Amino acid sequence: MSEDVMKTAIRVPLKELQGQGWNNAYEYLVPKLGEPEEKEEYEGLVEWFEYKNYDVVSVGDDWFLDMPTSPVVPLDKHPGMRMTIQAIFVQIHTLLGKFKVDSIECQVVAYTWYNGSDEPVI
């Protein structure tokens, strides 16, 4: 079924990966987060991977790690981000403990996207 979905998350930049590919991102993140739940390889190189509790995001040459604050759900059913400031700080400090990032670089992000394919009109 095609629908618009929404995600909210705490995001940290992964500056060490700027300009790198998925294989380098995999090698960088596995020692910090462990093996991902899903991984696609071709000729010995990792082309994509996914963690259950984190989202690895590549935008142009930049890389980010998102810690979701709400599930990815249809836009009309999204609960929004309902967290206390303390809970947000706990997530930020969890990420800061794993990555060498200044807390000022952490972001709260929310975005929507179309999940599906164009369906024929009958």
Among candidate residues 113, 81, 100, 97, the one with its CA nearest the CA of residue 10: 81
The predicted structure's pLDDT at residue 79? 64
Q: Answer for the pair 68, 56: CB distance below 8 angstroms, yes or no.
A: no
Q: How confident is the model at residue 2 (pLDDT cuts 50, 70, 90)?
A: confident
The predicted structure's pLDDT at residue 70? 74
Instruction: Taking residues 46-74, report their average pLDDT.
Output: 89
Q: How confident is the model at residue 8 (pLDDT cuts 50, 70, 90)?
A: confident
With 80 as the cut, is the pLDDT of residue 4 above it? no
Q: How confident is the model at residue 20 (pLDDT cuts 50, 70, 90)?
A: very high
Rounded CA-CA distance 105/50 in Å is 23
DSSP 75-102: GGG-------HHHHHHHHHHHHHHS---
Q: Answer for the pair 57, 65: CB distance below 8 angstroms, yes or no.
A: yes
Residue with tokens 């590549």: 58
Rounded CA-CA distance 32/54 in Å is 12
The predicted structure's pLDDT at residue 97? 87
Q: Going by DSSP bridges, is the β-strand pair 45-50/38-42 parallel, antiparallel, or unpaired? A: antiparallel
The predicted structure's pLDDT at residue 119? 59
pLDDT in tens, 75-118: 676 666 677 889 888 888 888 888 888 889 999 888 887 877 66
The predicted structure's pLDDT at residue 100? 83
Residue with tokens 């996914």: 50
